[in-house]
A and B are shown apart, each in its own frame.
Chain A
Amino acid sequence: MIEPNPQGEVWIFAEQEDEHLSETSLELCGKARQLADTLGVKVGAVLAGWNVRELSYRLIAHGVDRVYYVHDTNLEYYRTLPYARVMCQLIAKHRPQIVLYGATPLGRDLAPRIASEMRAGLTADCTDLQIGEYTDIKTKKQYTNLLYQIRPAFGGNIIATIINFDRWPQMATVREGVMPLGNGDPRRSGQIIEEQVQFNDFDLALKLIERHREKKKVNLKGARIIVAGGGGVGSKENFKLIHDLAGALGGAVGASRAAVDGGFISKEHQIGQTGTTVRPALYVACGISGAVQHRAGMEESAKIIAINWDRNAPIFGVAHYGIVGDINKVIPMMIKAIKERA
């Protein structure tokens, strides 16, 4: 752990694979920028890999002031221990006050290892981060400018705000797609600082024998937000609306059987008794009447928005928010409202 260091930078771990930055890393850049501006400090990013210096410019464009770049053949493919070595060494050296990771499979593997080695706190799967204050009930001691690490817990039934006031850095993994992804400004300038890290035999103990990556598949089970379209969407061309709304929300695209049978989208997107059963945090049903077979696959969603022209559609029976109207008008309104939120 490091001592609380209010002058420390706000850091992100820049996740890259096959020379591509993860989208979540760029989302984190924007959030880190916001937090750092509130605190009056700089944003740092740790970029580790082999021949990936070029990626620094994208990080800078998205709000990073200093990229700490570690170039080493041992870092070509992600492995927990050498990457943890990089992070622990750089955290000890530069003493950032906040370190953020994407809550990706990689981030959720790496961050706890680092937290344990640093004996620092870590909050998983945050959906929001804010700067706030805290008064210790027992000691009456006041702390200002702490990181509020806000996350759903207990199967999404409660929202907890977690703080860490003494064993820094304050670290969190952040859910994919919940922070808005900015456009980036290629004119922004920043520093690239090259760092060297030594690895020992233990760090390199595990060998990657074989590695296989698939093109991004439909992952309905893991999606926090799903936007699904039904027969009411009308055509394959019009299904673009559903993709657009899913894009704006950072969610996955689902479909009812009517949409799949109509050829609007492939079967792997089907939700319902014969398709996938899902329970996301938010389910937006667009032009879906809500046959019982479909409802069985989605009615456990934490929040359901139903949009349908037919006031009597059964989908409204499981909805939390209902909009009686034309999806061709309502969806663009939603996209506009989402884009304007910040």
Chain B
Amino acid sequence: MAYDSIVCVKQVPDTANITGEAMKADGTVNRAALPAIFNPDDLHALEAALDVRDRFGGTVTAVTMGPPNACEVLRECLYRGADRAILISDRRAAASDTLATSYILSCAVRRIGRYDLVFCGRQAIDGDTAQVGPQLAEKLGIPQVTYLEAVTELSGRTIRVRRNVGNGWEIIEGRLPVLLTVLDTGYVPRPAAAKRVMRMKKARAAMEIGMELSKTIADAAEREKEQARRVQSLKKAGLLIEQWDLDEVKADLQWCGMAGSPTKVHRVQSIVLTKEGYTEIPATPEGVKQMIHELIVDHTIG
């Protein structure tokens, strides 16, 4: 029996490699200076989905929500073996918190229609919340299994998986469809296949083509005509990355973006990373007390 999987992926700033150059003079992070990467856990989610397809047949559809640049991670999914890639992009989705994000993704999954398995990475390195997976499962009305290390059995509509809960592991059995969030300890992501890279590197979403053309064609009408022509030819070649906005996934705007997000950012403080030598603390009770106080103030310790 073949299974259709959807894998949710995200393009994230490489927060693990923030250096002095990525910090602005005022101590805030300069996102533009950070390389955008494929969220690490999501590569493992993709691998889990591809592995199921390789063993049992079926399809893998990669979905991401973000600006047109996020197509880079979709192309990476295609290079590694995904059958279909969809970009959810809409300015009205900006400032979505995890709840609004999971709502929008659930609308996209519903539009895809048929699916047996939904895979997500455990968490994304920009927010580290690990909330979108479980919230997407709830919005879809399906069970979730978090911290997946392996799909151990799949037969008919029954699935068995192994999850790692930190201080041990569990084998869980359920009926499809189910959503799985994947750890980085179970699957080893395959590299991009050279042949697929050759074929898929021209894959684009319509918005990307528009952005590329805006640099070369000044006349709007002419640009649109050229965009339509290129979209058609990519479609014919099977290289068009589908692109949906909030209307196309039938999202109710009251649950999207800022309006749909119960949590608001009240304040942001930056941790200044520039390090010029160290602060010498005298080995006295007063000196040590002052240091502990500073660590409490900057939330290093509770």
Contact = CB atoms under 8 A, between A and B. Distances in A.
Interface of A: 1, 80-81, 84, 104-106, 108-109, 111-113, 115-117, 119-125, 127-128, 134, 148-150, 152-167, 175, 177-180, 202, 205-214, 216-217, 219, 222, 225, 249-250, 279, 281-282, 302-303, 305-306, 316, 319-326, 329-330, 333-334, 336-338, 340-341
Interface in B243-277: 261-271, 273, 275
A305 B263 CA distance: 34
B126 to A, nearest CB: 6
Interface string B160-189: 100001111111111100100000000000
B36 interface: no
A225 B137 CA distance: 33
Interface stretch (B45-53, B67-75, B142-150, B227-235): B142-150
B183 to A, nearest CB: 10
Contact of A124 (B102, B130, B133, B283): B130
Nearest to B273: A157
B249 to A, nearest CB: 18
Given A303-B295, A322-B280, 9 more contacts: A108-B131, A112-B98, A116-B134, A124-B127, A206-B173, A206-B178, A320-B279, A322-B281, A324-B280
Given A105-B165, A205-B143, A209-B160, A122 B265 contact: no
29 contacts: A80-B146, A84-B138, A106-B165, A112-B129, A112-B138, A113-B137, A115-B135, A120-B262, A122-B98, A124-B130, A125-B128, A152-B299, A155-B15, A155-B128, A157-B15, A211-B169, A211-B170, A212-B168, A213-B168, A222-B166, A302-B271, A316-B278, A322-B281, A323-B288, A333-B285, A333-B289, A334-B292, A336-B285, A341-B293
Contact of A321 (B137, B175, B278, B299): B278
A125 B130 CA distance: 10
Contacts of A222: 166
Nearest to B289: A337
A117 B145 CA distance: 17
Given A125-B129, A155-B15, A305-B291, A211 B168 contact: yes
Contacts of A164: 262-264
Contacts of A249: 301
A166 B298 CA distance: 28
B221 interface: no
B248 to A, nearest CB: 23
B18 interface: yes
A208 B99 contact: no
Contacts of A211: 168-171
Contacts of B127: 124, 153
A208 B292 CA distance: 44
B296 interface: yes
Nearest to B290: A337
Contacts of A134: 266
B238 interface: no
B300 interface: yes
B268 A158 contact: yes
Given A105-B166, A113-B144, A321-B281, A159 B271 contact: yes
Contact of A217 (B167, B280, B281): B167
Contacts of B165: 105-106
Nearest to B260: A119
Interface of B: 13, 15-16, 18, 28-29, 97-99, 102, 125-135, 137-139, 143-147, 160, 165-175, 178, 261-271, 273, 275, 278-285, 287-289, 291-293, 295-296, 298-302
B283 A323 contact: yes
A122 B265 CA distance: 12
A165 B264 contact: yes
Given A108-B130, A219-B166, A330-B288, A161 B266 contact: yes
Contacts of A108: 130-131, 146
B280 A115 contact: no
Given A113-B134, A117-B138, A329 B300 contact: no
A156 B16 CA distance: 9
Nearest to B133: A112
B173 to A, nearest CB: 5
Contact of A323 (B144, B178, B281, B295): B281
A150 B169 CA distance: 31
Closest 10 CB pairs of A and B: A325-B283, A155-B15, A178-B302, A121-B262, A167-B262, A116-B138, A213-B168, A124-B129, A116-B135, A112-B131
Most chain B beta-carbon neighbours within 10 Å: one of A104, A207, A222, A323: A323
Contacts of B302: 127-128, 175, 177-180, 250
Contact of A214 (B16, B139, B167, B293): B167
Given A159-B268, A162-B264, A180-B302, A115 B131 contact: yes
B131 A209 contact: no
A281 B271 CA distance: 11
B128 A160 contact: no
B134 A80 contact: yes
Contacts of B168: 211-214
B137 A282 contact: no
A163 B166 CA distance: 30
B271 A113 contact: no
A113 B296 contact: no
Most chain A beta-carbon neighbours within 10 Å: one of B29, B174, B265, B267: B267
A299 to B, nearest CB: 10
A117 B270 CA distance: 33
Contacts of B273: 157
B117 to A, nearest CB: 14
